[in-house]
A = this chain, B = another copy of it.
Amino acid sequence: MKWLKRIATAFVCCIILLQSAAQNKILVFQSDFGLKDGAVSAMKGVAMGVSTDLKLFDITHEIPAYNIWEAAYRLQQTAQYWPAGTVFVSVVDPGVGSTRKSVVLKTKKGQFFVTPDNGTLTLIAESQGIDEIREIDEKKNRRPGSSESYTFHGRDVYAYTGARLAAGVIGFEDIGNKLSKKVVRIDYQKANFDKGIIKGNIPILDIQYGNIWTNIDGDLFKKLKLKYGDSLHVSIYQNNQKVYEGDMPYATTFSAVEKGKPLCYLNSLLNVSFALNEENFSETNKVFNGPEWTVEISKK
């Protein structure tokens, strides 16, 4: 019976080890492909062909076509909520087939980003820090039989390589040569505080509700020394032309103001945001997002 117990223990350990080794075979996709055709499914089929143990998820495939900035933003917004070890494949690639590099970035937290190095990594590199970047060697890391196709790197290089990395078929060092710790960077307006005014940019909309999300974080915002209920004066510019000007309270919940009224709040990323309660701030006030949008906030 003693033997039985020992062997049993050994095997339970063995099973646990096998299972832990199998953990976080997570592969998360993002693209501007949309969900109307078969492109996303082809990428997932390729991944399942690498290993059926992989767990496949999505950020979104509704990135506006060719919009690298939004790809960068969605990665930064989302990756932090996924476990260490997760492999992300992001394919917004207007320069497919040109000289842009295909890379895998490993962050300090131990997540991997498989993508063209075309600006997509701008925000992840800033916020999470670069542990190492390698250029994908397409001689070794390309779906067999795909060498005649020039235009679907998402399927033949990125999905294939991401799947093999996530499944443990290859290690990070098998990706290709190490690059210097730099990524192609999209320039954007940083948030700052000067003489009682906070300036910032609108990187993204909370598109489903039409809320305005700025790049001004809660810590910088504290310099206005506000308490909930205080009134703020807000101006919004596109290319330095004023598009919106108005007053609104700083509130913790949308229902703090009447339906249709504006409020300022910290969004789920703890950044300063503007909304109309139960209505659409963006459409109502024709305020949108991108590098050409500027926000000014002061205490009233």
Contacts and interface: CB of A to CB of B under 8 A. Distances in A.
B255 A95 contact: yes
Interface string A1-41: 00110111011101100100001111010001111111101
Q: How many copies does the complex hold?
A: 3
A97 B59 contact: no
A45 B148 CA distance: 36
A36 B30 CA distance: 11
A63 B249 CA distance: 29
Interface size class of A (residues with CB under 8 A): 35 or more
B12 A14 contact: yes
Contact of A33 (B66, B208, B269): B208
Nearest to A73: B38
Interface stretch (A78-86, A134-142, A180-188): A78-86
B94 A45 contact: no
Interface centre among A24, A28, A268 (most CB of B within 10 A): A268
A39 to B, nearest CB: 8
A291 to B, nearest CB: 18
B66 A278 contact: yes
A199 interface: no
B38 A77 contact: yes
Given A37-B207, A38-B74, A48-B83, 5 more contacts: A7-B7, A15-B18, A45-B78, A150-B265, A151-B266
A178 B223 CA distance: 43
Interface stretch (A49-57, A125-133, A167-175, A230-238): A49-57
Interface in A156-208: 156, 204, 206-208
A258 interface: no
Contacts of A204: 37
Given A11-B14, A57-B56, A208-B33, A97 B270 contact: no
A34 B211 CA distance: 14
Contact of A38 (B43, B60, B155): B60
